[in-house]
Amino acid sequence: MKNEKIQDIEKLLREKGAASVLLVCGNSFRSQALYGRIQEAAEKAGAGLTEFSDFTPNPGYESVKAGVQVYLAQHCDFIIAAGGGSAMDVAKCIKLFWNMEQNKNYLEQEIVENETPLLAIPTTAGTGSEATRFAVIYYEGNKQSVSHPSCIPEYVLLDASLLVTLPEYQRKATMLDALCHALESWWSVNSTEESRAYAAEAVRQVFQYEKAYLANEQEGNEGMLEAANTAGRAINITQTTAGHAMCYKLTTLYGLAHGHAAAFCVAALWPYMAAHTEDCIDPRGSAYLQEMFQGLAKVMGCTGVEGSIERYRAFLEELALPVPVMRSGSELEILKHSVNPDRLKNNPVLLTEETLEALYRQILKQEEI
């Protein structure tokens, strides 16, 4: 079963007959108590353990190649990914690529499903990567999206103790990433009854556990991990929309965390879409779109669409995150041309280049739409 939640790593390794485990993790994970538990579990299960940490945030193709070489050299038959989105992305790609032709570019080959077990252990409550079929790596400086059902982790371990040392800013940003995943999944043109159920539950969980999570209480950390995982299940079905498509260049231009940038994009995007349902590109039509926004308001405990937007804005303002400052007009050109048009196809309302510029102006507090 995909995304089966487990706690006993030793038992799992024994059940899967693991002989050689590849642990993909960042260097900071070694300071966590769980790191020692994994070592002990592998030893007791009679499995060898090899670590791979040779990657950076926004990992590159060459790092994945190196990871595949380690996997093959050590005759691995089980993968554990422990960390944030980068560790998850690298581990997923190693799982997908290890049985491909080694002398050809993996990205140019057809993915063939394999049954290598993958256990995901997220160390932040935000990406939901442990629940999705997506991975992102960079090839020659360009972002490459890899997608295949085979890379959805078969098992996931949610350990709230891993969040205790999260810095406050990272705590806020990852929570916002989870919330944006849920919101964007709700209004995606690919939404289904199942995805909306996941999205609604994730939205409720974020609001329910926000204060305890920001206070670094165990209940809040546990609840936010569940919220991120639930939101990941939603976007696994729908993918994200314009909020995420617009946020990537904001992160590099202004040094924002991913969730921080996505949240500012959603704050501008949501009211624009609600006011322009006549530009609906969802095949279910503008009447459906209006009903969908009203349904989201109910999920958020609001009587109307405007109330739900205001609740989101108030939530964001309470976090007191800095607003990026535009340094020159050329940055608007960079931003509006950075948005992948294919990602906009998931968005329910048409966004032209002029609209994107206006939205970025609003995000950067240059003018109101």
* pLDDT value of residue 353: 93
Paired tokens of 273: 């879409």
* pLDDT value of residue 1: 43
* pLDDT value of residue 369: 44
pLDDT in tens, 140-156: 888 888 999 999 999 99
Strands 78-83, 118-122: pairing is parallel
pLDDT in tens, 174-220: 999 999 999 999 999 999 999 999 999 999 999 999 999 999 999 99
* pLDDT value of residue 290: 97
* pLDDT value of residue 133: 95
pLDDT in tens, 71-97: 999 999 999 999 998 999 999 999 999
H-state helical runs in the chain: 9-15, 33-44, 61-73, 85-97, 168-187, 193-214, 218-238, 242-254, 258-275, 286-299, 305-318, 330-336, 341-344, 353-363
Paired tokens of 118: 């993958």
CATH annotation of 166-363: 1.20.1090.10
CA distance 88 to 135: 8
Average pLDDT, the chain: 95
pLDDT at residue 367 is higher than 60: no
pLDDT in tens, 301-344: 999 999 999 999 999 999 999 998 888 889 999 999 999 888 89
* pLDDT value of residue 263: 98
pLDDT at residue 235 is higher than 90: yes
Paired tokens of 238: 């729908």
Residue written as tokens 């040392």? Answer: 165
pLDDT in tens, 28-72: 999 999 999 999 999 999 999 999 999 988 899 999 999 999 999
Q: For domain 4-162, which architecture applies?
A: 3-Layer(aba) Sandwich (3.40)
Mean pLDDT of 282-299: 98
pLDDT in tens, 246-272: 998 999 899 999 999 999 999 999 999
% residues pLDDT > 70 (the chain):
98
Q: Where in the chain are the domains?
A: 4-162, 166-363
356 or 2, which is more confident: 356
